[in-house]
């Protein structure tokens, strides 16, 4: 009997990173968690203490892997590292200060649109579709913790909630290390 489509998903953005704290865009940069980010991940472990988790899927970037280790708090579940859960590649905007990108219009021009990305980087569409394709492979009914990144998880959770791609820019940002529970099949685009 197939359980495809009945998966319980827990989405968790990594804890605060040094890039988050300093206000710059990290994308595929492999930045570390701050002490606050580590504490956020430990708090996530407390929030997940009574929640069934059969496995963890985690981005291959260090901030997500570190968050997953802390949030799982020693649980004996299989952990699968997936490059397809990485944050979106930000091309020329990686390491750019967020304040400057907002002030000069690069945020609105390159980061908010669904089908357009910064030069040398990915669009939101490309990054979210990449992650959704990876999740579909694991949609078999096993309660799954997915640890990843703000932009990609924001898109995935919004689609689970019935929002369309054009709505994403108006939704609130994904908070660091706050579990988001969803159930059902991985959405299609």
Q: Could you confirm whether 137 is annotated as catalytic?
A: no
Helix pair 35-47, 62-72: axis angle to 10 deg = 40
Angle at 142 between CA 136 and CA 144, to 5 degrees: 75
Distance CA 111, CA 124 (A): 8
Alpha helices, H only, the chain:
18-22, 35-47, 62-72, 98-103, 106, 124-137, 150-160
How many residues are given for the chain? 189
Distance CA 27, CA 38 (A): 19
Do 44 and 12 touch, CB atoms closer than 8 A? yes
Q: Could you confirm whether 14 is annotated as catalytic?
A: yes
Among the listed residues 16, 29, 38, 87, the single catalytic one is: 87
DSSP secondary structure string, 65-105?
A: HHHHHHHHTT----EEEEGGGSPPP-GGGTT-BHHHHHHTT
Distance CA 87, CA 132 (A): 13
Residues identified as active-site: 14, 87
């Amino acid at each position: 009997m197939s359980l495809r489509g009945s998966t319980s998903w827990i989405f968790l953005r990594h804890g605060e990173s040094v890039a988050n704290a300093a206000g710059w865009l990290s994308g595929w940069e492999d930045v570390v968690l701050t002490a606050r980010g580590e504490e956020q991940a430990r708090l996530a472990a407390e929030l997940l203490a009574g929640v069934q988790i059969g496995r963890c899927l985690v981005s291959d970037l260090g901030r997500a892997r570190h968050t997953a280790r802390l949030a799982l708090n020693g649980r004996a579940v299989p952990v699968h590292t997936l490059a397809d859960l990485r944050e979106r590649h930000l091309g020329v905007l990686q390491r750019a200060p967020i304040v400057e990108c907002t002030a000069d219009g690069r945020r609105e021009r390159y980061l908010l649109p669904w089908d357009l990305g910064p030069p040398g980087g990915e669009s939101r569409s490309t990054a979210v579709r990449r992650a959704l394709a990876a999740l579909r492979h694991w949609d078999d009914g096993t309660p799954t913790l997915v640890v990843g990144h703000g932009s990609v998880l924001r898109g995935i959770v919004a689609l689970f909630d019935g929002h369309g791609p054009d709505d994403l820019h108006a939704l609130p940002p994904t908070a660091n290390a706050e579990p988001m529970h969803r159930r059902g099949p991985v959405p299609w685009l």
